[in-house]
Structure 1
Amino acid sequence: MAGALSGLLVADFSRVLAGPLATMTLGDLGADVVKVERPGTGDETRSWGPPWSLDGTSTYYLSVNRNKRGVALDLASPAARSLALGADVLVENFAPGTMERFGLGYEDLRAANPRLVYASITGFGRSSPSPGYDFLVQALGGLMSITGSPDGPPTKAGVALVDVLAGQQLTTGILAALYARERSGRGQRVEVSLLGSLLAALVNQASAVLNSDVVPGRMGNRHPSIAPYETYPAADGDVVLAVGNDAQFARLLAALGLPSDPRFTTNRDRVQHREALGELLSTAFGTAPAAHWVDLLTTAGVPCGSVNTVAEAIALAERLGLTPVVELAGRRSVASPITLSETPISYRLPPPALD
């Protein structure tokens, strides 16, 4: 069955993570993606390791480059311009001005290819020449200030989260531009910045700053607005509680055999008396292993779990029937989370070798 984007040609001039993630998503949806790389060295992530796969390929590179054909081209070559002019979508994440120097900027191409959707990712916007690196943007964008223990240093997320967010935002923008093109017949420029993507993803934390003059800080695993919503120590490990409403909290008390307390009646009350509630729950959970509590509370309808490793998380998804892993020519990667009933995701090509 044809994919949702079958028949579309995507010229992927991007590298590293945000852009390649967006183009891999388009490829999963059926588009024909041609990955353009620097002759000789290719995408920077080809040299990022360890870890390496069994044949010595960077597992970082493998994570975001399936469903693509590959070619090595100098940006100044006629072949690069020919590909750009023949594409439905062009994706690039070079420093602002780079594509223009090679005659591959949006204004350079739109006259000859008015249907082109030209998608760019920058670090801080087109007017800023500063390169955007995920770690740097996590710091400058405020994420590190709210991540980590209250008495510890600012901490980055364990994955390049800003790049992932920007790649997803770019995909959304590209799909919107393609839909608009169906009505107007014209392409357009799509731009996403790493900083803007992170700020949009701060959601409630950013809203607190904008609407209540609250400056959020690091709270470890606690939630600023919900309780109990954190980890608690059991006899042999941590239990994760994510109690989002009063009914769930009532079930938690019943399962633990604890009496009701007017200090904890509503979520507002529980947040106000967070320390007392934490002491009560920590004492209860410390009497038995984590697995005991997870089984008991799950049966009682209380959202809870353990802190899994990545391998354990993949195994959990498999047990739940989610089919989280796809294999192509011996290359394994996490499957797309998107399910479409009429135009399903397809996995056709493993990540290409250079050129």
Structure 2
Amino acid sequence: MDVHKGLFQDLVVVEFASVLAGPSVGQFFAEMGAEVLKIENIKSQGDVTRRWKLSSENPDTSVSAYFSSANWGKKSVCLDLAAEPVRELVHCIVRKADIVLASFKAGDAEKLQMDYNTLSQLNPKLLYGHITGYGSEVARAGYDAVLQAETGFMYLNGEKGGAPLKMPVALIDLLAAHQLKEGLLAGLYRREKTGQGQYVEVSLLKAAISSLANQATNYLVAGESPQRMGSEHPTIVPYGTIFQTSDEKELVLAVGDDRQFKTLCQVLGDAALGEEADFSTNYRRVQNRVALIQKLRKLVARFTQQELLQVLVEQNVPAGAVHSVPEALAQPLVQPQLLADQKNQPRGVRQIAFSSPDSVPLPLAMPPALGQHTVEVLQNKAGCLAVEIEKLAQKRLVFPAEQKKDN
């Protein structure tokens, strides 16, 4: 294996997925060296996120900022899966593929003959990763904001006494993406042993519930229904609490044990506070949360953000500045996580955040324009002649990027 081409350099991934969850999995495999073919619907003008644009973006480009969050390193093939001659070409591609990623709504995969039962007969070694809203037996489509509401995340998020809040990223989509990666990696391991492919399904519902973690067990074990607490933690104090410094900046504390709390008090110039009976143990701090937070706010407000953070970090007290997104992306340690364009300007974020001999960052092509690789893929993967592709394009069954739409 050429280590410079990635661990999955021999894998072919066919992506029928759109929006964020499935495409995130596709980009993960692209970052690991796989060839990822993104099949996009000509009738809907491709992945819907191509048109989810900020007011500051170019309205004429097919590559939006949102689309760029999960589509680096892929080849875009734009066509009409409802047309029989096109389906046959895609079936030719799937016969040579290793993984299919899908997020079809209930019944659509079967209607288009792109379901697992159909494709596995063409390719028994195929791994079919399917993201659904509520499971393949439920026709209802899944949307991240709705799942955040239905699984308790929105109820928990927000200030005490305030309204429920949606997370500012599509959290449930991302959780489902991680689950599907894990399932497919397990499937690849199984295939190495048995030679057989399999169907791997992840629902947004189950991915969300599995991630409720301690909030779920707070109810299941202790019988206490979790409530909104802002950024604070139900069983650790001070953990997640935001404080304002003398220069009107913000920092967060994440003190997880009694030793750290005593050190915090020493740094803040009130060592006696760490010895008081009401605050000396985490259990007592949870019981006396309000009184302690009031005292800490006054102490923290005597320092500037930078001077206090420097000492807290030196003394191994968990604390950090509250950053804006630009500030977060500007951190030196973050730079290897960013993807750059041809002018070496950061334009994307890598899906891979682990370090191993097989996770060496590979150069990735920028997110593709709609249909950018239609001709290349149909010729090289499906054996379609240029003249045949031209005929399909004239019938508006495929969309090569160089073809201009007149509608």
User: When the two structures are superposed, what TM-score results if normalisation uses the length of structure 2?
Assistant: 0.83
Do 1:12 and 1:36's aligned partners in 2 also have CA atoms closer than 8 Å?
yes
Correspondence for 2:80:
74
> One-letter code of the match for 2:120?
R
1:214 to 207, 224, 227: 224
> One-letter code of the match for 1:325?
L
1:232 aligns with 2:240: no
Give the Cα separation in 2 of the matches to 1:91 and 1:104: 11
Task: Say which SS state the counterpart of residue 345 (structure 1) adopts.
Answer: coil
* Structure 1 residue 43 displacement after superposition: 0.5
Distance change in 2, residues 1:321/1:351 (3 Å)? closer
After TM superposition, list the pairs within 5 Å mapping 1:134-283 onto structure 2: 134-229=144-239, 230-235=241-246, 236-258=248-270, 259=272, 260-283=275-298
| Unpaired segments ≥5 residues, structure 1 | none
Correspondence for 1:347:
363
Do 2:91 and 2:122's aligned partners in 1 also have CA atoms closer than 8 Å?
no
CA RMSD of aligned residues (A): 1.7
1:114 to 105, 124, 148: 124
* Structure 1 residue 324 displacement after superposition: 2.5
Task: Say which SS state the counterpart of residue 8 (structure 2) adopts.
Answer: coil
Task: Say which SS state the counterpart of residue 299 (structure 2) adopts.
Answer: helix
> One-letter code of the match for 1:63?
S
Task: Say which SS state the counterpart of residue 264 (structure 1) adopts.
Answer: coil
Correspondence for 2:18:
15
Do 1:52 and 1:58's aligned partners in 2 also have CA atoms closer than 8 Å?
no
Task: Say which SS state the counterpart of residue 226 (structure 1) adopts.
Answer: coil
* Structure 1 residue 128 displacement after superposition: 1.3
Give the Cα separation in 1 of the matches to 2:113 and 2:183: 24
Do 1:338 and 1:345's aligned partners in 2 also have CA atoms closer than 8 Å?
no
Q: Could you give the per-residue CA deviations for residues 235-279 of structure 1, whole angstroms, max 9, x where no partner exists?
A: 313220000111111110111121121111221111111111111
Q: Could you give the per-residue CA deviations for residues 188-208 of structure 1, whole angstroms, max 9, x where no partner exists?
A: 000001111111111000111
* Structure 1 residue 340 displacement after superposition: 2.4
Q: Could you give the per-residue CA deviations for residues 271-327 of structure 1, whole angstroms, max 9, x where no partner exists?
A: 1111111111011112233233222322222111111001101112x2x37523121
Do 1:85 and 1:113's aligned partners in 2 also have CA atoms closer than 8 Å?
yes
Q: Where does structure 1 differ by over 6 angstroms across 4 or more consecutive aligned residues?
A: none
* Structure 1 residue 343 displacement after superposition: 5.5
1:292 aligns with 2:307: yes
Do 1:73 and 1:80's aligned partners in 2 also have CA atoms closer than 8 Å?
no
Correspondence for 1:59:
65
Task: State which drifts further: 339-348 or 202-211.
Answer: 339-348
* Structure 1 residue 4 displacement after superposition: 1.2
| Unpaired segments ≥5 residues, structure 2 | 372-407
1:46 to 42, 46, 50: 50
Task: State which drifts further: 248-257 or 45-54.
Answer: 45-54
Task: Say which SS state the counterpart of residue 323 (structure 1) adopts.
Answer: helix
1:33 aligns with 2:49: no
- Which structure would you say has the larger Rg? 2
Correspondence for 2:342:
329
Do 1:239 and 1:305's aligned partners in 2 also have CA atoms closer than 8 Å?
yes
Aligned residues: 353
